[in-house]
Amino acid sequence: MQMNGSGISLQILSANSSVLTPRVEKMAMRASPYRVLSQRTCSSVSKTTAVSVFNFRNSSLDKVFPLLNITHYSTYSGEKSGSISKRRSRGPVMAAKKASEGAKQEDGRYKHTVDLPKTKFGMRANSVVREPEIQKLWDDNQVFKRVVDRNNGGNFVLHDGPPYANGDLHMGHALNKILKDIINRYKLLQNYKVHYVPGWDCHGLPIELKGNSTISLKRFLLGLLCNQIRPRKVLQSMDQDARKELTPLKLRAKAAKFAKETVKTQMKSFKRFGVWGDWNNPYLTLNPDYESAQIEVFGQMATQGYIYRGRKPVHWSPSSCTALAEAELEYPEGHISKSIYAIFRLVSAPATSYGLLEEFFPDLCLAIWTTTPWTVPANAAVAVNAKLQYAVIEVHSLLEDVSASPGSGKRRLGNVLKGQRKPFLIVASDLVPILESKWGAKLVVKKTLLGSDLENCRYIHPIDNRECPVVIGGDYITTESGTGLVHTAPGHGQEDYATGLKYGLPILSPVDDNGKFSEEAGQFRGLDVLGDGNVAVVNYLDEQLSIIMEEPYKHKYPYDWRTKKPTIFRATEQWFASVEGFRQAAMDAIGQVTWIPEQAENRISAMTSSRSDWCISRQRTWGVPIPVFYHVHSKEPLMNEETIDHIKSIISEKGSDAWWYMTVEELLPEKYRNKASDYQKGTDTMDVWFDSGSSWAAVLEKRNGLNCPADMYLEGTDQHRGWFQSSLLTSIATKGKAPYSCVITHGFVLDEKGLKMSKSLGNVVDPNTVIEGGTNTKGAPGCGADVLRLWVSSVDYTGDVLIGPQVLRQMSDIYRKLRGTLRYLLSNLHDWNPESAVPYSSLPMIDQHALFQLENVVKNITESYENYQFYKIFQIIQRFAIVDLSNFYFDVAKDRLYVGGTMSFTRRSCQTVLAAHLLSIVRVIAPILPHLAEDVWQNLPFQHTNEDGSSATYIFQTRWPAWNERWLALPVEDVDFWGKILELRTEVNKVLETARTEKLIGSSLDAKVYLHTADAYLSSKLHGMCAASNDADTLHRIFITSQVEILSSMENGLTENIPYMGEYLIQGKSRVWIGVSRAEGSKCERCWNYSPQVGSFSEHPTLCGRCYNVVGVQPLPAVAAVS
Ligand SMILES: [Zn+2]
């Protein structure tokens, strides 16, 4: 296909009739998209349900039913009417075909007077070849930039959330980037200066691992995918074999190389999706200018006192030896912990409550329950709820052996219950019955007391004999599980930590970076807390008669999202951002942002209000350094405005590698240089969420033309705790405002059955395969980017969305039909000149009504774009362009277009309507289907000029269609009447179909239709249409029959000779009688309509009156003249 720069490409078909012949035949078979639709849609509906076809997850019925209606509407009376429509619309086409074939001498007599559709715009998209050609056209001519430069309707900044520069793209990336592109392209047509800077997140552990050792990496990934190796083992081997020989700088260089290569690959795919953006200047979090802007944000937070260093429990991943953020955790199904009911012996009670408990000493114990026995060595207190009622219980004879009872799993009773002398236990009163059945023992309540009575009792730690207090904990202590008394280890839990602060408890955490017990853990030293260490603690406690029972416990437990291994809570020295300091400002800002869907506001509010301080340090090499020095002896940190500024300016010039290769002396500002020998550099880097969370500062505030806050952020729903939140926090802390004014979230992409995609299930849909086709998959031809984009537009992205082969087939089908609709428009406008347009006031009613429908569609589609509800656009377009137009207007129009006469009023009037449709439809679909729209535009057979007089060589140089209020102002009674006509037409078709089945008629043009109604108003309107002053509005043209007669009564044997009839209710009230007989007169050779006039014109004895008039004035077209 040749690209035509002027936008005009009027292709004259070959003058050679031998070339013409097959083409015309093709037209005859395919020119009507209606036919394709009516047959195929029908079969697809019978095979699948509309629900599975369109895949709205969480689809409510009101979302599904309109679709069902559409599909039913398209096949309005089932398979049979599909074939009648074929017959019906065949008349002019078949006549034309036969004429042009010149099968018999006289058949070809009028072929030069027939206007067949012509276009070079292919029926087949051939997207795999054509889309890259179109993209090249855009690139070569810098169309995006030119449109942005031209537009003057203000800025629109959609700020890109950076994907991780790590591995290939998946369908979630495609959904995300295409949604953004649909919005950007819509805004372009709306005259906005659209700024879209694509970004990549380049630091962090997975890239560090990957950049680190390519061979190990491949093995690692392959093994992971095939579930054949344990990631930890490979990580360990990587640590030993590869990692240690690398200096930090070598490692960073490899990681940077890997990240940049990945950026390149991913960028290529994004471009192939048809995404427009500033691809030559993307933002990468590893770029020096980005890193220095990030240091600046950090510095501002530090100088405002929001950054502090503290020992605090954080999520720690022993498998990757680093602290993790909430967003780096996942909670896989099926985690089982070893839980224990343990007891701690009380040694004293405060004077206030001693009296209550005196009688039970010295055999009185607190019973606790924990799912992490390895934290017992770090136990510092037992917490109770002051308001709960507790009971002192006596354990009587064991009822049964619980370990043997059914359903008990692997419960194991502790030694203390097997002995003769059993201690008194304190548990929450409400839990006594539950514990009775769990432990399989009779529990007798000896006394009850309040939790507050237990405060300041002291007990002996079962492992190292420390005396520890009973404390009052928070509302987190309930009677939902456990014993109502909570083992408190402030070094290993968030709530424990808070309680510890309140009571000044020691923050013990005798666990090292690898998750092994440290020296402080004494006898357990060196054991793995998630493995043998845990077992050893349980066994030791049991030996000390401190275990009541042990049982496996299935629950949600945080895993490292990268290594897929369990994490622990562990107190370490870390850097924190104090969220408490600006939480309220963040909450206020959330209220100012527009959240789509609305529920998202609750989500981010809940997450922001409940989040703890943000641990921003990581023990990694591949990242932006925390710009801090520590005193060699005192370990006191040195970090202030001056030092941070100095480091910032170094990094902005040399990149963050400078932190590793420059000396302390060089990195310190002048003032501190003489003390350089007292300091050493910190080795922590920043959490990658701090990297990406600074993008508003590094991109929106630093680049020309952009603005902060951005107009929009658009990411997956998981970013409420990720990027949306980290961006909000950094921006609030330093600027006091949110970095966005609108946030849109989308769900996850699942397979057709709603299952998560995974290699092992074999249900992964890869975006590149969808577009380009599989290399060796027979059943997966390339669909092109537009089909993928059509799918994106079809789903309600606010929930999870589904995709699979069946969905894609449906999308290809709809795409093809839409293409057919556009081809119909193009091919019937091949000789169109906008100057020949018929003024609105002169248009026939059918044409005014068509424009009324078009403008309603444009208006509704515009509203749906404004509300970002693309699935509504998909539904409207599908219904209107593919169904409504093809079933009615296009079908009826063929007669006028083909045989109405080249320059006749009826044909020009129809073309006026078709041109309006083409120009509107191509523009409203352009944001979703840019390649298709451009392909149409490049084949546009006439010049289009924008309202401001500028020309549009490319589709995006046009403007959004402004709707015409006059077209919308069609009187209500006319709209109502056309509704009745359409319904009546459907009923007439049913009677015609019966007549056809019974062989009375072949084509609908063989028929005459009789109508009678007692509804005087309707009857007079129908009479009026039979006598319409213009051919287009006459009723028999609308029914595509040769004649229509309105009977004024049913009496006097008027209907006796009419063989087929039926009675119908139109719009549920007007009763209409419909009859069908063979048409009167003879068949016109040119148009195949029957008419008594045929034979009455001596020069043209085979023509009807209409054709006689047309032929009389029809000039000889050049094409026909040659043949
Ligand atoms: Zn005729």
- Does pLDDT of 78 surpass 50? no
Q: What pLDDT, on the 0 to 100 scale, is given for residue 934? A: 98
CA of 1123 from ligand 1 middle (Å) equals 22
CA of 1100 from ligand 1 middle (Å) equals 11
- Does pLDDT of 672 surpass 90? yes
Q: Is there a contact between 357 and 457 (Cβ–Cβ < 8 Å)?
A: yes
Q: What pLDDT, on the 0 to 100 scale, is given for residue 546? A: 86
Checking DSSP bridges between strand 749-750 and strand 801-802, what pairing results, if any?
parallel
CA of 643 from ligand 1 middle (Å) equals 92
Residue type (1 letter), 534: N
Q: What pLDDT, on the 0 to 100 scale, is given for residue 52? A: 31
Q: What pLDDT, on the 0 to 100 scale, is given for residue 777? A: 52
CA of 906 from ligand 1 middle (Å) equals 14
**pLDDT-derived band of residue 266, with 50, 70 and 90 as boundaries?**
very high
CA of 646 from ligand 1 middle (Å) equals 89
Give mean pLDDT, residues 300-312. Answer: 92
CA of 109 from ligand 1 middle (Å) equals 13
CA of 725 from ligand 1 middle (Å) equals 71
Bridge-partner residues for 1009, per DSSP?
A: 1044, 1076
CA of 86 from ligand 1 middle (Å) equals 19
Residue type (1 letter), 874: F
CA of 22 from ligand 1 middle (Å) equals 24
Q: Is there a contact between 219 and 829 (Cβ–Cβ < 8 Å)?
A: no
CA of 20 from ligand 1 middle (Å) equals 23
CA of 95 from ligand 1 middle (Å) equals 10
CA of 843 from ligand 1 middle (Å) equals 22
CA of 1084 from ligand 1 middle (Å) equals 5
Q: What pLDDT, on the 0 to 100 scale, is given for residue 437? A: 83
CA of 253 from ligand 1 middle (Å) equals 80
**pLDDT-derived band of residue 242, with 50, 70 and 90 as boundaries?**
low
CA of 1087 from ligand 1 middle (Å) equals 4
Q: What pLDDT, on the 0 to 100 scale, is given for residue 631? A: 95
Mean pLDDT check: name the lowest of 552-561, 969-978, 1110-1119.
Answer: 1110-1119
Q: What pLDDT, on the 0 to 100 scale, is given for residue 572? A: 84
Question: Pick the residue with more confidence: 501 or 1079?
Answer: 1079
CA of 899 from ligand 1 middle (Å) equals 8
**pLDDT-derived band of residue 284, with 50, 70 and 90 as boundaries?**
very high
Strand, helix or coil at 996? helix
Give tens-digit pLDDT for 222-233: 333 333 333 333
Portion of the chain with pLDDT greater than 70, in percent: 84
CA of 1109 from ligand 1 middle (Å) equals 9
Q: What pLDDT, on the 0 to 100 scale, is given for residue 310? A: 85
CA of 1078 from ligand 1 middle (Å) equals 17
CA of 896 from ligand 1 middle (Å) equals 11
CA of 1102 from ligand 1 middle (Å) equals 8
Q: What pLDDT, on the 0 to 100 scale, is given for residue 241? A: 52
Residue type (1 letter), 595: W
Q: What pLDDT, on the 0 to 100 scale, is given for residue 50? A: 31
Give mean pLDDT, residues 777-794. Answer: 87
CA of 1092 from ligand 1 middle (Å) equals 11
CA of 106 from ligand 1 middle (Å) equals 15
CA of 1019 from ligand 1 middle (Å) equals 28
Q: What pLDDT, on the 0 to 100 scale, is given for residue 891? A: 95
CA of 30 from ligand 1 middle (Å) equals 23
- Does pLDDT of 262 surpass 90? yes
CA of 1119 from ligand 1 middle (Å) equals 21
CA of 46 from ligand 1 middle (Å) equals 39
Q: What pLDDT, on the 0 to 100 scale, is given for residue 403? A: 54
Give tens-digit pLDDT for 962-985: 889 999 999 999 999 999 999 999
313 vs 328: CA distance, rounded Å: 16
CA of 1106 from ligand 1 middle (Å) equals 6
CA of 163 from ligand 1 middle (Å) equals 64
Q: Retrieve residue 545's tokens.
A: 């008669």
- Does pLDDT of 603 surpass 90? yes
Mean pLDDT check: name the lowest of 115-129, 288-302, 489-503, 1014-1028.
Answer: 489-503
**pLDDT-derived band of residue 244, with 50, 70 and 90 as boundaries?**
low
Sign of CA dihedral 20, 26, 29, 32: negative
Give tens-digit pLDDT for 806-829: 999 999 999 999 999 999 999 999
**pLDDT-derived band of residue 405, with 50, 70 and 90 as boundaries?**
low
CA distances from 573 to 230, 527, 616, 1081 (A): 30, 22, 11, 100
Give tens-digit pLDDT for 730-742: 999 999 999 999 9
- Does pLDDT of 679 surpass 60? yes
The Cβ of residue 117 has, within 10 Å, a number of other Cβ atoms equal to: 20
**pLDDT-derived band of residue 778, with 50, 70 and 90 as boundaries?**
low
CA of 26 from ligand 1 middle (Å) equals 23
Which residue matches tokens 């950049």? 211
- Does pLDDT of 48 surpass 60? no
CA of 10 from ligand 1 middle (Å) equals 28
- Does pLDDT of 63 surpass 60? no
Helix 231-241 × helix 214-226 angle, to 10°: 170
Residue type (1 letter), 397: S
Give tens-digit pLDDT for 849-877: 999 999 999 999 999 999 999 999 999 99
CA of 1110 from ligand 1 middle (Å) equals 9
CA of 357 from ligand 1 middle (Å) equals 111
CA of 891 from ligand 1 middle (Å) equals 17
CA of 1098 from ligand 1 middle (Å) equals 15
Q: Retrieve residue 1018's tokens.
A: 């309707």
Q: What pLDDT, on the 0 to 100 scale, is given for residue 149? A: 96
CA of 736 from ligand 1 middle (Å) equals 76
Portion of the chain with pLDDT greater than 90, in percent: 57
The Cβ of residue 602 has, within 10 Å, a number of other Cβ atoms equal to: 12
Q: What pLDDT, on the 0 to 100 scale, is given for residue 204? A: 83
CA of 829 from ligand 1 middle (Å) equals 22
CA of 592 from ligand 1 middle (Å) equals 67
CA of 909 from ligand 1 middle (Å) equals 19
- Does pLDDT of 408 surpass 80? no
CA of 895 from ligand 1 middle (Å) equals 10
342 vs 1094: CA distance, rounded Å: 106
- Does pLDDT of 676 surpass 60? yes
Closest to 379 in 3D by CA, of 434, 340, 418, 325: 340
Which residue matches tokens 């029926």? 123
Mean pLDDT check: name the lowest of 70-79, 526-535, 610-619, 921-930.
Answer: 70-79
Q: What pLDDT, on the 0 to 100 scale, is given for residue 509? A: 87
CA of 372 from ligand 1 middle (Å) equals 91
414 vs 342: CA distance, rounded Å: 9
- Does pLDDT of 1054 surpass 90? no
Closest to 114 in 3D by CA, of 1075, 1107, 931: 1107
Q: Which run of H or of E encompasses 551?
A: strand 547-554
Mean pLDDT check: name the lowest of 312-326, 721-735, 920-934.
Answer: 312-326
The number of C-alpha atoms within 13 Å of 13 and in the hemisphere containing its C-beta is 24
Give tens-digit pLDDT for 336-375: 888 999 999 988 888 887 778 888 888 889 999 999 999 9
CA of 1118 from ligand 1 middle (Å) equals 22
CA of 98 from ligand 1 middle (Å) equals 14
CA of 1083 from ligand 1 middle (Å) equals 8
CA of 907 from ligand 1 middle (Å) equals 15
Q: Is there a contact between 549 and 438 (Cβ–Cβ < 8 Å)?
A: yes
CA of 743 from ligand 1 middle (Å) equals 61
CA of 956 from ligand 1 middle (Å) equals 43
Domains of the chain: 127-220+230-289+583-605+690-803 (3.40.50.620), 336-399+408-557 (3.90.740.10), 805-970 (1.10.730.20), 995-1080 (3.30.2320)
Q: What pLDDT, on the 0 to 100 scale, is given for residue 212? A: 55
CA of 15 from ligand 1 middle (Å) equals 25
Name the CA radius of gyration of the chain, rounded.
39
CA of 448 from ligand 1 middle (Å) equals 104
**What mean pLDDT, rounded, does the chain reach?**
84
Give mean pLDDT, residues 395-416. Answer: 66
Q: What pLDDT, on the 0 to 100 scale, is given for residue 416? A: 79
CA of 25 from ligand 1 middle (Å) equals 21
Q: Is there a contact between 755 and 763 (Cβ–Cβ < 8 Å)?
A: yes
CA of 989 from ligand 1 middle (Å) equals 22
117 vs 826: CA distance, rounded Å: 8
